[in-house]
Amino acid sequence: MTGPEVACVGETMVVLAPADPTPLEHADRLAVGVGGAESNVAMGLARLGHRAAWVSRVGDDPFGRRVLREVAAAGVDTSLVTVDPAAPTGVYVKDPGPDGTRVHYHRAGSAASRLTARALDDPRLAGVRLLHLTGITPALSRGCRDLVAHALTARPLPAARISFDVNHRPRLWPARRAAPVLRDLADRADVVLVGLDEAAVLWGVTTPAAVRALLPGPDLVVVKDGPVGATALPRTGAGAFVPALPARVREPVGAGDAFAAGFLAGLLRGLDLPACLRLGHLTAVPALAAAGDTAPPPDPAWTAWALALSDAQWATLVPGLRSGQPDGARTVQNAAGSGHGGGSTR
């Protein structure tokens, strides 16, 4: 088969960030990159060997062309992206500071905000096994919200399992307005990923079990708890918890998308829940250590070795540093920027 195995739908923007680790107002130079939760997941899945497509709109402008080029360079099929001559590509700016990185959006009226449910009508999507959506898209416009609701309710891609990453963005819509919408959309999905911290802000729940009780509809709910670990709770049967790996945190933005890509890759491969969670953590570690929103995943040979560890061995694993690892482990250490510390699922 040559068609996409996975389709990820949503906006990707050009990212501007200080070239040096300094607050934006004092920066002399800005580095240019691209970032978007859904295309980040598509890039992660493509780098893990899956046929991933990104469905979106970009402006007919230099930023749009850069977005298309960089997403395609990761192996993602961008042929389903519409180039809009009448609306611009969105931009966001990172402002690093002692209390973390703030993000400033310039995306109102962007090309991607003009997405509608018709984006899923393309016959090339007919064989997709997984459709990935996030809670960012319904905050962009009425048409975008209709697109996500249509995907989850009408199921225009009947062969596709639908994953939904809650991904609440307070700067797009406050929790009081987002909470009921995101809960309703999440409860219609097959697989839901949500951070425990955002679930607490949105819905006032503070344990994975409480999140699962709040969302009875999905087949599977995955609750991420930063440096603690992640819990996968199926509707029936036993759940699984896998602790996070130590990782050097350079920039947390994008690590949650990397975790989602790894976890979803595990589902596509038919791995059990603990292995899916492990693959999510392993894929997130390099993203945490990278300056940009994405990073190459670990070496496949090392990943296979790490997935086969006992629980006790996993609990003491420091990527690239433990003895007994195959040669590929050092490749991971180099790709991640050497050294790790912190959590891997933010």
At 169-211, the pLDDT tens digits run 998 999 999 999 999 999 999 999 999 999 999 999 999 999 9
Q: Any residues with CB less than 8 A from the CB of 294 and at least 6 apart, and which?
A: 35, 40, 43, 44, 74, 254, 257, 258, 287
The pLDDT assigned to 292 comes to 62
The pLDDT assigned to 1 comes to 58
Confidence of residue 150 (pLDDT cuts 50, 70, 90): very high
The pLDDT assigned to 315 comes to 92
The pLDDT assigned to 253 comes to 66
Instruction: Specify whether 154 is located in the same domain as 232.
Output: no
**Residue 24 belongs to some domain of the structure:** yes
Instruction: Specify whether 146 is located in the same domain as 285.
Output: no
Instruction: Specify whether 122 is located in the same domain as 267.
Output: no
Domain that holds residue 133: 1-158
**Residue 181 belongs to some domain of the structure:** no
**Residue 269 belongs to some domain of the structure:** yes
Nearest Cα to Cα of residue 164 among 149, 180, 142: 149
Tokens of 170: 């307070």
pTM score: 0.90
**Residue 1 belongs to some domain of the structure:** yes
List the catalytic residues: 257
The pLDDT assigned to 101 comes to 79
In whole angstroms, give the CA distance from residue 42 to residue 263: 12
> What is the percent of the chain with per-residue pLDDT over 70, rounded to a whole number?
88
Average pLDDT of the chain is 89
In this model, does residue 338 exceed pLDDT 50? no
Tens of pLDDT, residues 238-287 = 999 999 988 776 666 668 899 999 999 999 999 999 999 999 999 998 87
**Residue 164 belongs to some domain of the structure:** no
The pLDDT assigned to 323 comes to 37
In whole angstroms, give the CA distance from residue 346 to residue 48: 20
Instruction: Specify whether 97 is located in the same domain as 230.
Output: no
The pLDDT assigned to 140 comes to 97
Show which of 158, 189, 218 is a domain's final residue.
158
How far is residue 272 from each of residues 177, 238, 317, measured CA to CA in Å?
36, 11, 20
Show which of 158, 176, 205 is a domain's final residue.
158
Show which of 158, 176, 192 is a domain's final residue.
158
In whole angstroms, give the CA distance from residue 199 to residue 215: 11
Tens of pLDDT, residues 214-225 = 999 999 999 999
**Residue 205 belongs to some domain of the structure:** no
In this model, does residue 326 exceed pLDDT 70? no
Instruction: Specify whether 143 is located in the same domain as 14.
Output: yes
- CATH number (domain holding residue 14): 3.40.1190.20
**Residue 188 belongs to some domain of the structure:** no
**Residue 221 belongs to some domain of the structure:** no
Mean pLDDT of 313-334: 55
Nearest Cα to Cα of residue 14 among 106, 152, 134: 106
Mean pLDDT of 58-81: 97
How far is residue 176 from each of residues 22, 47, 113, 204, 225, measured CA to CA in Å?
33, 37, 22, 11, 22
The pLDDT assigned to 177 comes to 97
Confidence of residue 25 (pLDDT cuts 50, 70, 90): very high
The pLDDT assigned to 201 comes to 97
In this model, does residue 36 exceed pLDDT 60? yes
Question: What total number of domains does the chain contain?
Answer: 2
Tokens of 329: 């482990």
b/e map of 192-207 (b: 16 or more CB within 10 Å)? Answer: bbbbbebbeebbebee
